[in-house]
Structures are given as structure tokens and as C-alpha cells.
Amino acid sequence: MTDTLAPRLPAHIVARMTAAGLRRTLATRVVLGLFLGVPDATLTHTQVASLVQARGVTVNRVTLYRLLDRLVACGVLRRQTDHASRSWRFALARDEDAEAVIRPPSFECDLCHRSLWLDAAGSEMRAWAGALLGRAAAQGHRGTQVELAIRGICADCDGVGAGGGARA
């Protein structure tokens, strides 16, 4: 296969695919080559299918749908609704489409000034952050980072070790 058919992928795209566990198959590289060749292109599934086929690569319809979905999920492509044709259109994701950074929640002690991560709070934080980012987006704002810090007195400074507290 020549480099024009399946070009080398830019590092940031490879990084996103690797993080998502997406293999760089020939079909994947050919599909991405279509978008990288014309960075402003927005293509429907049908257009992608016929362009891939025109390059002599056979990918069945379901596999191609799945591939496009996975490329959207890992932030390489973005998907928009074409209201006229009532279909999805796919395009290369722009950097501003990247998901907001959601930091794990921290606890900052007012006495010892340590900053502690709250264990296992990541999934709750993502749920809250998603809701808040959605609220911001509804008002036209584009969130890029979400942080939550709780301030107070840590367990060590409070003199109550883990597992302590009031007992009956």
C-alpha cells in the first residue's frame, strides 16, 4: 500500500486512537486519509463509503459505521447533523472540540495546607462535571477545564484518624 492511500497519521491523532485502544488498520488509515487530505471536508457515511471504495479498499457498511463512531468517541472526528439530508456528517475534530479536562476533586487543609486527592471520587466528579459543562454549553460557553476543591480541616489535623469518629 502506498503512502498516498494510507498516509502517516499526525501524532495527536495517533495518541487519541492509542488512548482509546483503536487499532490503526488499513481501513482506519484510509478513512482518516480522506479527512486529512481535505481538512475542511464534512462527509456523510455514504460519501466516506464510496471514497474508500474508490481507493480500492473494501469495508462493509456496518464496520464503517462502527469505525466512524469510534473515531468520534476518541475525539479524532466530530459528528454533526445535516438537517437538510437528515444524516450525520463527519469531519476532523478541531482542537476546540476536545473534551474539557476534568481534574479529580481535591481536599485542601486550612491548617497544614496539604492538598489531598479524594479517593475514588473520579466517577462522581465526571457526572457533576458533565452536567455543569452541559449547563455552560446551553448558555453558549465552552468549558475547557473543571476543578473542584473542598477546603477544611484534614483528618490528621482534626485528630480523628481514618475509621475514627463518633461511636455509640
Binding site for Zn ion (CB under 5 A): 109, 111-112, 154, 157
Helix residue ranges, H only, the chain: 11-19, 26-37, 45-54, 61-73, 122-138
Q: Are the C-beta atoms of residues 143 and 132 closer than 8 Å to each other?
A: yes
Q: Which is nearer to Zn ion, 112 or 150 (CB)?
A: 112
Q: Which is nearer to Zn ion, 125 or 157 (CB)?
A: 157
Alpha-carbon span 21 to 43, nearest angstrom: 24
Alpha-carbon span 99 to 121, nearest angstrom: 19
To Zn ion, the closest distance from the beta carbon of 113 in angstroms equals: 7
Q: Which is nearer to Zn ion, 73 or 112 (CB)?
A: 112
To Zn ion, the closest distance from the beta carbon of 121 in angstroms equals: 18
Q: Which is nearer to Zn ion, 109 or 133 (CB)?
A: 109
Dig out the grid coordinates for 18 from the structure.
Answer: 492509542
Alpha-carbon span 8 to 127, nearest angstrom: 36
To Zn ion, the closest distance from the beta carbon of 70 in angstroms equals: 45
To Zn ion, the closest distance from the beta carbon of 146 in angstroms equals: 25
3-state secondary structure of 36: helix
To Zn ion, the closest distance from the beta carbon of 123 in angstroms equals: 26
Q: Which is nearer to Zn ion, 118 or 132 (CB)?
A: 118
Dig out the grid coordinates for 51 from the structure.
Answer: 471514497
